[in-house]
Amino acid sequence: MVNEAAIVQRVISGDVAPFSQLVERYQKPLFVFVRNLLGESHICEDLVQETFFAAYKNLAAFDEQRSAFSTWLFTIARNKSLNELRSRKRRERLTSDSASVANQAISRDDISESELFSSLDKALADLPIEERTTFILIELAGLTAREVAQMDELKESSVRSRLSRGRAKLREILDLHGGKK
C-alpha cells in the first residue's frame, strides 16, 4: 500500500515525480465518479484533470489528520462537478432549451446493454444531488460512509440514511421507467 501522506510530503518538498502514483491510483475512480454525477463523458476527462491540477496546486492544504487523501481528492472532484452542474443549469435557463426525452417503459427482454446504462444514467440524474453524490461515492467510487461523512461534514448515520433513501428512490425511478420486472 502506497503511503499517500509520504508522497504528498515528497511532492511538497520538490520531488514532483511521485505525484504520478496518485494520478494513476485515482484517475479511474475519479472518472467514474464524475461521469456518474455529470452523465456525460466528454467533459469528464477535463474535469478529472482539473481536479488533479487543483490538488497538486493545493497539496500544502492537505491535512492527513483531518481526512484521507482520497477523501480530500474526491471532495475537490465533487465541488468541481457541482460547479459544472450549476453552470449547466444557468446555460439551460439562458437558452431555455428544455427538450425532454419521453420516458418509455422498457422491458429487460428487449433492452440492450447500452440502453440499460442509459436508463441507469437517467435514473441517477433524477436523484436529488445529495443522494446521487452519496450513492456514487459509496457504490461506484468505493468510498466508505465515514469518508463521505467527512467530506460532507455529516454524521456517518446521516450518510447511511442518504444512501438508503437514494437506493430506494433509484429503485422507484427504475421501476417507473420499466427497467425492473
Q: What span, in angstroms and rounded, lies between the C-alpha atoms of 131 and 79?
A: 15
Amino acid, res. 89: K
Q: What span, in angstroms and rounded, lies between the C-alpha atoms of 116 and 27?
A: 25
Is the pLDDT reported for residue 96 higher than 80? no
pLDDT score of 117:
66
What is the DSSP-derived secondary structure letter of residue 103? P
Is the pLDDT reported for residue 116 higher than 90? no
What's the pLDDT band for 21 if we cut at 50, 70, 90?
very high
Amino acid, res. 12: I
Per cent of the chain over pLDDT 70 is: 80
Give this prediction's pTM: 0.64
